[in-house]
Structure 1
């Protein structure tokens, strides 16, 4: 069944804010039909959602994903998003966490990037569901740790949301969330190309992936797949959901992120090696995509955004 994020309900509370950056916030909700949140400016932190029952629907920029039991959906910062109970579903039961995530998680999530900073990690095998939920429960308890005594074994049942204020509590809570990321991303199957995609579109995608820094244009890509530029752009956009130049920019940003993670190249050289002519433009679009400047990303800043 085709789902559309246009069916998401409105904001549960007008102006409902996301937690401020720097905090680790975790919670467990079981929301009825009609629940929804709309953040036109996105959030300053990453949002992780793990569904345990019912159905949710999340939209991040132009990307969208339904969420059922066993689905981990992650939203990066700085991108308008909406989410709520999927139209026709009776409820949505899910764990969620807002945080500044560890840079090492990026490589685990990257294969599940659907575009614009939405990562859909599915399907996670049934065998890991229990451990994932246990990790979230432990995160909810650990977020309450004061650092002076042993962390609580379980969180109070009447307190479904916790904020980790202390450094020790934040790091301990992030350890549990890291287990969630590793268990799901390590066992789920990376998305395969959508069936029925025209071979010429796949060829263009392969050309972009092979050398994102090359001076590709709509015309040059169209020439290589024997289509007119207008026909190629129409076909590519219709079958992938984004224009050729948008796909190229995303590929260049992913390439730049890998260089920042794995090399000592200056930001200016990373920009040039990724196909960006202007360092200023590179800094702006990188920040829009990853929620932070390239230098902060390299230094281990936040990954980002219930």
Structure 2
């Protein structure tokens, strides 16, 4: 159930840090009233939560959603968020994962966008709950290293740091996202495609380094900026500026891989206002700075 965000009770310290995007950190919590986390500056990584009991309340920016058993809620990085046991609930039991995402997941989540960077996949069929729980449990076990016997009393949190552990964990999380999104599809009106949004996406893809703005993109498809932003976000699950930033980061990564352009020139060719800004955003997204990415130190 989607709701307007409200001030949430917070017990964690403001600015509670989140894991870097290069890691896959998974946990299973059962928290009582008063539990909450507040990150005013947002997270460096994506956060996936799947509720198995009780209720939670999650806020991203100015919007929020309440999560009950069988609900998958995803928070994108870069926007302030809070989450807590829902008011009046006796507890909140949930799986959670902090990590980077795979590009294929965004279209699966897009129909469930509540606001920019907040996705709420409701009422996943009960028949899928055990399978989704098993996928999270594999992530928890593989964080200790594939092939190791699970402990008798598994740790509540596991960090997948090595390449193999991270890839196994992401494969399991991909199963969670796909099962949840497809399983809940019948309960959500999936928005139809809009040629105007598609044309704007094509403009961004054709020249991500161009000085695009919401206004310039809206004018190119004969829409007002507010109407364009609403349609674009509803259709893709991302705001136009988030989509543009992701396109610029992909373009920059290709330039780093395929050319010997300096970081400064890659930044300019990809539409970033300064090398410093580019390096900061690139590192937040890829987990390593541009120079290390070019050298093959990728996460």
- Output the CA distance in 2 between the equivalents of 1:221 and 1:78: 22
Task: Tell whether 2:45 aligns with 1:58.
Answer: no
Aligned position for 2:70: 70
Q: State the Cα RMSD in Å.
A: 4.4
Task: Tell whether 2:275 aligns with 1:283.
Answer: no
Residues 54 and 90, structure 2, Cα contact 8 Å, conserved in 1: yes
Aligned position for 1:153: 150
Task: Tell whether 2:198 aligns with 1:206.
Answer: yes
Aligned position for 2:175: 182
* Cα offset, 1:122, TM superposition: 5.7
* Cα offset, 1:138, TM superposition: 3.3
Aligned position for 1:233: 225
SS at match of 2:102: helix
**Pick aligned residue for 1:162 from 153, 157, 160:** 157
* Cα offset, 1:5, TM superposition: 2.6
Residues 253 and 286, structure 1, Cα contact 8 Å, conserved in 2: no
- Output the CA distance in 2 between the equivalents of 1:80 and 1:176: 26
**Pick aligned residue for 2:245 from 247, 253, 258:** 253
- Output the CA distance in 2 between the equivalents of 1:185 and 1:249: 26
Residues 30 and 93, structure 1, Cα contact 8 Å, conserved in 2: yes
- Output the CA distance in 2 between the equivalents of 1:24 and 1:235: 37
Deviations 1:123-151 (A, max 9, x none): 65544321221122233344445x8xx62
* Cα offset, 1:37, TM superposition: 0.7
Residues 137 and 154, structure 1, Cα contact 8 Å, conserved in 2: no
SS at match of 2:104: helix
Task: Tell whether 2:38 aligns with 1:42.
Answer: no
Residues 38 and 82, structure 1, Cα contact 8 Å, conserved in 2: yes
Question: For the structure 1 residues 66 and 174, does the alpha-carbon distance in structure 2 shift closer, same or farther, using more than 3 Å as the test?
Answer: farther
Residues 24 and 169, structure 2, Cα contact 8 Å, conserved in 1: no
* Cα offset, 1:62, TM superposition: 4.7
- Output the CA distance in 2 between the equivalents of 1:218 and 1:78: 19
5+ unaligned residues in a row in structure 1: which ranges? none
Aligned position for 1:107: 103
Aligned position for 2:11: 11
- Output the CA distance in 1 between the equivalents of 2:281 and 2:15: 27
Deviations 1:250-292 (A, max 9, x none): 2222323444677744477876776x26463871674487264
TM-score, scaled to structure 2: 0.67
Number of matched residues?
Answer: 278
